[in-house]
Amino acid sequence: MAILLSNTTQCINYGNILQPTSNMTVCCWFNATDLSTWKMIFGREDASGSQPGWHLEINNNQKGDFHSDHGPNMVNTTTTIQLNTWYHMLGVRDTVAGNQRIYLNGIQEGATSYGIVETVVNQMQIGETIGWPGQGFLGILDDLRFYDRALTDSEIKTIFACKGSDSITYSLQARWLFIGPDGGSITGDVVELSNNEYVGTPLNTPTYKETFLKPRRYLYNN
């Protein structure tokens, strides 16, 4: 099951979680129904929006975008994102390689350096950015993940190929699968499904949506 966001104010707020200072990997499946401006998928940033701690989004040129520091450095996909199409997007910050990288459907499409990594005062949200109102994601999101390490190219290809049924759980800090009835409103606490069980608050009533991803039938072992 996935989450359907049908207006730019719908999101899930998780508060002060997932603030890495070293290696990280974030990823998700998405299907966008509007690309008229920047569209935040998930991440956390300061209240002004000027210093995102990290995020995955789609920019105003319809490119996937990953940002993992407080500077101006972003890395983009070369592929132009199309409406009503499923993609898997993944961002890596790798302190050994000294770069941040973006992958689309298991293939690396860009790399760049990253700047200073600092503490961000604002909160982690799925579907909307606190600092830039009106730029919330519109469409379907599923299987969002956060690892506190840099995944390998082989692991990244496996996650894409398995479409949700992989068992790559080492250093997995958060994973969202949105278990609920198709079409039902999300009004209560939303608990992510890693061992950490972060509890989020849905805002403005997003809904559950059935998707193509395979069932997940294993337990987590961090």
Model pTM score: 0.91
Each residue's pLDDT tens digit, 208-220: 998 888 755 444 4
Averaged confidence pLDDT in the chain = 86
**Residue 205 · residue 3 · CB < 8 Å:** no
Correct CATH for 2-209 of 3.90.1010.10, 3.40.1170.60, 3.40.1190.20, 2.60.120.200 = 2.60.120.200
pLDDT surpasses 60 at 49: no
Q: What is the pLDDT of residue 52?
A: 59
* Lowest-confidence region among 15-29, 74-88, 136-150: 15-29
Q: For the chain, which residues make up each domain, given as ranges?
A: 2-209
pLDDT surpasses 70 at 161: yes
Strands of the chain (E only): list them.
Answer: 2-5, 11-15, 24-32, 39-45, 52-58, 63-67, 75-80, 86-94, 99-104, 107-112, 124-126, 139-147, 172-176, 190-191, 199-203, 207-209
Mean pLDDT of 149-159: 96
pLDDT surpasses 70 at 3: yes
Cβ-based burial of 5 (10 A; exposed 0-12, middle 13-18, buried ≥19)? buried
Each residue's pLDDT tens digit, 59-95: 999 999 998 876 667 899 999 999 999 999 999 999 9
Q: What is the pLDDT of residue 19?
A: 80
pLDDT surpasses 80 at 203: yes
Q: What is the pLDDT of residue 117?
A: 64
Pairing of strands 86-94, 24-32: antiparallel
Cβ-based burial of 9 (10 A; exposed 0-12, middle 13-18, buried ≥19)? middle
Q: What is the pLDDT of residue 162?
A: 92
Mean pLDDT of 24-50: 85
Alpha-carbon distance of 158 to 145, in angstroms, equals 14
Residue 5 pLDDT grade (very low, low, confident, very high; cuts 50, 70, 90): very high
